Amino acid sequence: MSETGRQPEIAQPSRLLSQLADAGETGTLYVDGGSSGTVHLIDGRVSCVESPAAPGVGALLTTSGRLAEHTWQAAVQTGAAGHRVGRLLVEQGHLMQSELELCVLGAIYDAAFFVLTTAATSVRFAPGELHWLGRVVEVEVGALERETSRRGRRLDEIFPESSVDHAPVTPVPTPPVQRVVLTAAQWELVVHADGRRTAADLSRLLGRPGYATLQEVRRLSAAGLLRNAGPPSSGGDRGAVDAPPDEGASAVADPDHGVTGPDPVAEGESPTRTRAATRREGGHRRQRDPQPSGPNGAGPVDAVPDDALLGRLRAALKALR
Amino acid sequence: MADMDTALKDAMQIEGAIGVALVDYSSGMALGVAGGGKDFDLNVAAAGNTDVVRAKLRTMEMLHLNEVIEDILITLDTQYHLIRPLTGRSGKGLFLYLALRKDRANLALARHHMRRIEAELDV
């Protein structure tokens, strides 16, 4: 974006961030390397963090159905120049202030987990550069670091095996136990883990926080239900760039990996995936359409009226409120 | 940016309140806290109570109880702890956690206030 930034240097992002915070800087820290990302500071406090491994505020709000894609896009287009996208959404009555705060706060901690754990890499600070979202909440760098290390420990308590974090994952063909109980979130992960998607790809696809996805991936791995599908296709880049193009092909391969046979998988999968895909269309994230081209043509056909029906129900319920 | 803080401060007005936290259930992190103190670390309480909620949800799954948790009450010698998962439109994955002094709190009233505060947060 800006060419006025300070010269790139090799440093540990968290260390540089502490220095910038101590100096009370305002601007944007660009982090390259494995888990690239940006950290935005206002007066030495963090106002926004973005990472390809964690869905951003827009993705969270639109994938969950809280905001329509066009509402979000309109706010970004109108408010980006003045760094007031967040305020605009509240002023126009699309979101409650507290709702926006919580969403941004969650996204900050989520993305920070990936950006701050990056080892020394190329970093660049652009002073004065503000994020288009504007000032919604601010977090102290110290709090961010404490939480990041707590999250790292928590992850290892679940399952001390980080190889599944960045690699494509796939369900095991045969569960190691007779009876398996999964939460809805875990089921969605198992259904969409096709041996090509990494945890980061899955979190973007499902619009679920990156750290929450990592936790579930580790839990499923610990239970022996999900395993590393092999070396990552792009040298540990968390598959941010190369995974989406594979999705068309991977959908065909899905039934081979299904743990419970093709039918339930296809039925559980189609509405979810189609809905996620619909919301994502025209989104700011570059994403090829993950068309579910499953073996039984019923999935996509069913999914369309389902979606419309849900939309009508939601509108009706909102009218009652 | 005071909206969430207002809701939490509001919760601290509940008779007998010791501390309150709004907790992200997936990470166990307190997104906001009010009250508490040196001998009552709300961040630790938030992380620990996430496991309580998770265990209860898992038990309900195993029992095939297709219901939602309105709140969880834990009664200690001198305190009540009240956990209330948020049910709002995008509030899935958050819960309110309130610690009360047993000798001063009115449980029914506290639950009523928590319901109201949840509605105000509207997440």
Q: What is the pLDDT of residues B49-85, one digit of tens each?
A: 998 998 898 888 888 888 888 999 999 999 999 999 9
Classify B38 as helix, strand or coil: coil
DSSP label at residue B40: B
Using a CB-CB cut-off of 8 Å, the residues of chain A touching B23 are: none
- Asked if residue A290 lies in contact with residue A277, where contact means CB atoms within 8 angstroms, the answer is yes
Q: Measured at the alpha carbon of residue A199, what is the angle toward residues B45 and A276, in degrees to the nearest 5? A: 100
Using a CB-CB cut-off of 8 Å, the residues of chain B touching A110 are: 27
Residue B88, pLDDT > 50, answer yes
For chains A and B, CB pairs below 8 A equal: 68
Of A26-30, A82-86, A177-181, A305-309, the range with the lowest mean pLDDT is A305-309
Does domain B4-107+115-120 fall under CATH 3.90.1300.10? My reply is: no
Three-state SS for chain A is: CCCCCCCCEEECHHHHHHHHHHCCCCEEEEECCCCCEEEEEECCEEEEEEECCECCHHHHHHHCCCCCHHHHHHHHHHHCCCCCHHHHHHHCCCCCHHHHHHHHHHHHHHHHHHHHCCCCEEEEEEECCCCCCCCCCCECHHHHHHHHHHHHHHHHHHCCCCHHHHCCEEECCCCCCCCCCCCHHHHHHHHHCCCCCCHHHHHHHHCCCHHHHHHHHHHHHHCCCEEECCCCCCCCCCCCCCCHHHHHHHHHHHHHHCCCCHHHHHHHHHHHHHHHHHHHCCCCCCCCCCCCCCCCCHHHHHHHHHHHHHHHHHHHHHHHC
pTM over 0.80: no
Residue A287, pLDDT > 70, answer no
Using a CB-CB cut-off of 8 Å, the residues of chain B touching A98 are: 3-4, 7, 120-123
Cβ-nearest to B31 among A64, A106, A215: A106
Q: Measured at the alpha carbon of residue A34, what is the angle toward residues A30 and A38, in degrees to the nearest 5? A: 20
Instruction: Indicate yes or no: CB of B123 within 8 angstroms of CB of A99.
Output: yes
Interface check A249 vs B, CB under 8 A:
no
Residue A185, pLDDT > 90, answer no
* Mean of per-residue pLDDT scores for chain B: 87
pLDDT of residue A32: 86
Q: ipTM greater than 0.90, yes or no?
A: no
More confident residue, B73 or A313: B73
Q: What is the pLDDT of residues A131-184, one digit of tens each?
A: 999 999 999 999 999 999 999 999 999 999 888 998 999 999 999 999 888 888
Domain boundaries, chain A: 3-152, 154-319
Distance CA A33, CA A238 (A): 11
Instruction: Indicate yes or no: CB of A102 within 8 angstroms of CB of B58.
Output: no
Query: Which chain A residue's Cα is nearest to B120?
Result: A98
Residue A198: CA atoms inside 13 Å, Cβ hemisphere, count?
27
Angle between helix A97-116 and A141-158 (nearest 10): 70
Interval A114-133 mean pLDDT: 90
Distance CA A18, CA A202 (A): 31
Angle between helix B3-12 and B107-121 (nearest 10): 170
Cβ-Cβ contacts under 8 Å for B59 (sequence gap 6 or more):
none
Highest mean pLDDT among A12-16, A242-246, B73-77: B73-77
Q: How far is CA A300 from CA A176, A244, A307, B98, in A?
A: 32, 19, 11, 45
Residue A257, pLDDT > 80, answer no
pLDDT of residue A320: 61
Name the token pair of A189.
Answer: 């992960």
Parallel, antiparallel or unpaired: strands B29-35 and B17-24:
antiparallel
Parallel, antiparallel or unpaired: strands A121-127 and A45-50:
unpaired
* Mean of per-residue pLDDT scores for chain A: 77
Residue B119, pLDDT > 60, answer yes
pLDDT of residue A231: 64
Instruction: Indicate yes or no: CB of A102 within 8 angstroms of CB of B89.
Output: no
Residue A275, pLDDT > 50, answer no
More confident residue, A150 or A118: A150
pLDDT of residue B68: 85
Distance CA A268, CA A121 (A): 41
Q: What is the pLDDT of residues A30-65, one digit of tens each?
A: 998 766 899 999 999 999 999 999 999 999 999 888
Residue A188, pLDDT > 90, answer yes
Radius of gyration from C-alpha coordinates of chain B: 14
